[in-house]
Amino acid sequence: MERLQKAFDALRPTEAQEEKMLREILIARDDAPRRRRRGGNPVRVAALIAAALALCVVTASAAEALGVSQMIRDYFQQKEETSIMDTLNVAASGLSTTAENGWKITMTDLFGDENRCYVGVTLEAPEGTVLDQSDYILRMLAVPAGETPESLEAKWQDARARRAYDELKSLSEIYFYCEQVSDDDPKDNKISFVFSESLDYYIDGTTFDFIFEDLFWYDRSKPHENGQQKQTVVEDFDAKIPNVVTHFISNNGYHISVNQSVQVFNGTATLEEVYISPLSVSYVLSGESVEKTFFKRTGSSEDFIERASKTRPTRKERFAEYVEEDTDEYWYGWRSIWELDVPIILHFKDGTSQELVFEAYEDAGYEDSGHRNDISNGKVQAYYVFDGIFNLNTLDYITVCDVRVPLTAAK
Amino acid sequence: MEDTRRDGFLALYQRNIARVYQICRLHLKNAADAEDAAQTVFLNYWKTKPEFRDAEHEKAWFIVAARNQSRDMLRAWWRCHRADSRELEKAMHFDSPEDGELMRELLALPTKCKDAMYLYYYEGYSSREIAEMLECSESAVRSQLCEGRKKLKIKLGGDYGTVTESV
C-alpha cells in the first residue's frame, strides 16, 4: 500500500511545473477572446481508428475538373467571383462511398494550394432519417493510401530512430477542421460539410485514403458537464474513400522568386520567394537572423532538431522549453511569434492596400495563418489563408520586409 | 473586482492543480501532455464557472474533468506518437528499480482500473463515492479495484491492499 501511494506521489507536479501551468493558463485565458478563427466547430480532436474499416462500396473514380461546386461557392459566399471559382483546379469531385449501415458519403470537391486543403462532403442518411441539427461534426482524416494510423505510427518511429527528420511530417495523418454548411431543408436526410486544414508538407501528387469515422453534435443549449460539452453521437461509419490523388495544387498558385537580402528579426535574412494563390499567400525566409531566431534558441541546431522531432510536441510545449531556459524569449514564443514582425501588404490596382497581420503559429492546423519550419534547410515559410477566394486580377504588387514583389514576376 | 476574481482563481488552482495533474499524468503518461490537459481543465472551469456546493463537490468536479480531458486527449491524433510508460520511467527518479517497475505496471493498467485505484487508494474515496463520480455501479468499481490489485500482484508480487468495504 505504501509503495502504491508513493507511486501516485511521484506523479505530482513540481512547483516549477505548477507555476508554469498557471502562467500559461492566465495568458491563454486573457488571450482567448482575441483569437481570430473561422466560425463553426473546432475539430482538432479526432480519434484513431478503433476498429477495422467496415466494408463499403466506392462509386465513381477520381477525376480532375475546373471549378468548385455550388456548395463551396455558397460557403465562401462569393457568388460574384464566379470566374475565379471556375478557374480552381478541383480533384476527385463526385467520389462516393456507401457504408454498410446505408449512409452515403460523397466527396463533392477536393481542392487547395500549397498552404491549405479544402474538402467538400455531402452526407446522406438512409431514407426516413432526419438530420435537423445545425452544427453536426463529421470526423474525417486523410492517410497516405494503403496506410492506417497504426502503420504510420510504426513508420514514424522507424524514421525517428534513423533520425530521418524530413520524413516525419509526411508520416502523419491529416485531421480536418469541420464546418457544416447551411442546410436548405433541415427536415431531410442530407447535410453538407466543408473541411479545411493547413498543410504541414507539400502533398501535390500524393495519393490519400479519406476515412470517415462518425457523425456527432454538441447540444450547445445545455451547460457543460464536467468542463466539457457532451457529444451526441448520431452514427458511426468506419468508411473510406480510397486512392484519391491530390493533383490540384500546382495549377492553383504562383511562385515568385525574390532572393533579396532583408533586415528582419534584428538581423539579416534572405527573402527567397513569395507564393500566392486565390486561397493563400506565403513567403520563405532563410539566413542568419532566421537561423538565430528559429533554430538556435536553445542549444545547438542539432539539439533543437532532436528535441523538436522526438516527441512531436505542440507549439505550447515547444516554447515552454524556452520559458524554462530563457524567460526573455517567452513573449516571442508560442503566443504570437510572428504576429507583428513580418506582415504582408497587398497593394491593389485601384491604389488601396491591405496589411495581412499574422497570428501565426507553427503547425497552425485550421488557423488562418501559420508557419512551417524547414529545420534541415534553415528556412521558415509563413502563410496566410484568405477568408474567401481572392481575385488575383485585382492585385498590383505585394510588399514583404519592405521588398516590392510585382505579380508580373509570377511564373 | 478583477483582483478578487483572480485571487479566487489562484486559490482554487492551488487547491486542485496537483490532483488534476496527477490524474492527467496517470492517463497520458507524458508530462507535456499532462500539463496541456491540466491547463485545459482550468480554462474550461474559467469558461463555465460552475458553482460548487462545497469543497467536496469542487474536488469531485476537477477529478472528473481531468479524467474526461485526458480521455479526450488520448483520442487526439498526436497522442499515438507520445512517450510510453518506459519513457516516463526514464524521466522520473525512483528510490529503487522496484518502484520504477511498479509505476510502469500501474500506468499499464486499464484506464478504468487506474481511475478506481487512484481514487480509492490515494484520494481515499469509498467505492460508493467513486461509483457516483464515475457514473457506474458500485460493484463495477469493486471489480475494477480487484482487477487492478490482481494485476499488480501477479506481476510484482507483494500486497497492494484490499477493499475493506462490505460487498
One DSSP character per residue, A117-163 reads: EEEEEEEEPPTT-----S-EEEEEEEEETT--HHHHHHHHHHHHHTT
Pairing of strands A56-59, A95-99: antiparallel
Contact B21 A25 (CB under 8 A): no
Tens of pLDDT, residue by residue over B12-62, are 999 999 999 999 988 887 787 888 889 989 988 888 888 888 888 888 889
- B contacts of A16 (beta carbons < 8 Å): none
Would you state the pLDDT for residue B149? Answer: 81
Between residues B163 and A197, the one the model is more confident about: A197
Q: Around Cβ A84, how many Cβ atoms within 10 Å?
A: 19
Q: All 3 cell numbers of residue B75?
A: 483520442
Percent of chain B with pLDDT over 90: 9
Would you state the pLDDT for residue A66? Answer: 62
Would you state the pLDDT for residue A123? Answer: 94
Beta bridge partners of A98: A57, A104
Q: All 3 cell numbers of residue B164?
A: 475493506
Between residues A53 and B147, the one the model is more confident about: B147
E strand or H helix at A372: strand A369-374
Q: All 3 cell numbers of residue A214?
A: 462518425
A137/chain B closest Cα distance in angstroms: 15
Question: ipTM of this model?
Answer: 0.78
Q: How far is Cα A13 from Cα A9, in angstroms, rounded to an integer?
A: 9
Q: Give Cβ neighbours of residue B138 (< 8 Å, ≥ 6 apart).
A: B127, B128, B131
Q: How far is Cα A94 from Cα A2, in angstroms, rounded to an integer?
A: 63
Q: How far is CA B120 from CA B108, B116, B130, B160, in A?
A: 18, 6, 8, 12
- A contacts of B92 (beta carbons < 8 Å): 10
- A contacts of B68 (beta carbons < 8 Å): 226-228
Amino acid identity of residue A64, one-letter, is: E
A164/chain B closest Cα distance in angstroms: 16
Q: Which of B65, B106, B159 sits opposite A226 (nearest CB)?
A: B65
Radius of gyration of chain B (CA): 17
Q: How far is Cα A305 from Cα A331, in angstroms, rounded to an integer?
A: 22
Q: Phi/psi of residue A37, each to 5°?
A: -165, 150
Q: Which of B10, B17, B160 sits opposite A21 (nearest CB)?
A: B17
Contact A1 B35 (CB under 8 A): no
Start-end of H helices in chain B: 2-28, 31-48, 55-75, 85-91, 97-107, 111-117, 127-134, 138-156
Would you state the pLDDT for residue A190? Answer: 93
Contact A227 B44 (CB under 8 A): yes
Beta bridge partners of A275: A255, A282
What is the arithmetic mean of pLDDT over B143-153?
79
List per-block mean pLDDT (blocks of 10 residues) for chain A, which spans 411 residues. Answer: 78 85 74 34 25 33 61 73 69 80 90 88 92 87 84 77 69 81 86 85 79 82 61 84 76 85 87 92 88 56 44 37 33 33 84 77 55 73 83 89 80 44
E strand or H helix at B76: none
**Residues 133-152, chain A, touching B (beta carbon < 8 A):** 141, 149
Q: Find out whether A114 and A199 touch, Cβ atoms under 8 Å.
A: yes
Taking CA–CA distances from B52, the nearest residue in chain A reads A226
Contact A29 B18 (CB under 8 A): no
Q: How far is Cα B5 from Cα B8, in angstroms, rounded to an integer?
A: 5
Q: End-to-end alpha-carbon separation of chain B, Å?
A: 50
Q: How far is Cα B167 from Cα B162, in angstroms, rounded to an integer?
A: 12
Would you state the pLDDT for residue A26? Answer: 77
Ramachandran assignment for A251, one of left (phi > 0), alpha (psi -120 to 50 degrees), beta (any other): alpha
Any A CB within 8 A of B80 CB? yes
Q: Find out whether A396 and A347 touch, Cβ atoms under 8 Å.
A: yes
pTM of the model: 0.56
**Residues 239-298, chain A, touching B (beta carbon < 8 A):** none
Any A CB within 8 A of B106 CB? yes
Between residues A219 and B127, the one the model is more confident about: B127
Would you state the pLDDT for residue B76? Answer: 52
Would you state the pLDDT for residue B133? Answer: 81
Specify the residue for cell string 454538441.
A218
Would you state the pLDDT for residue B86? Answer: 46
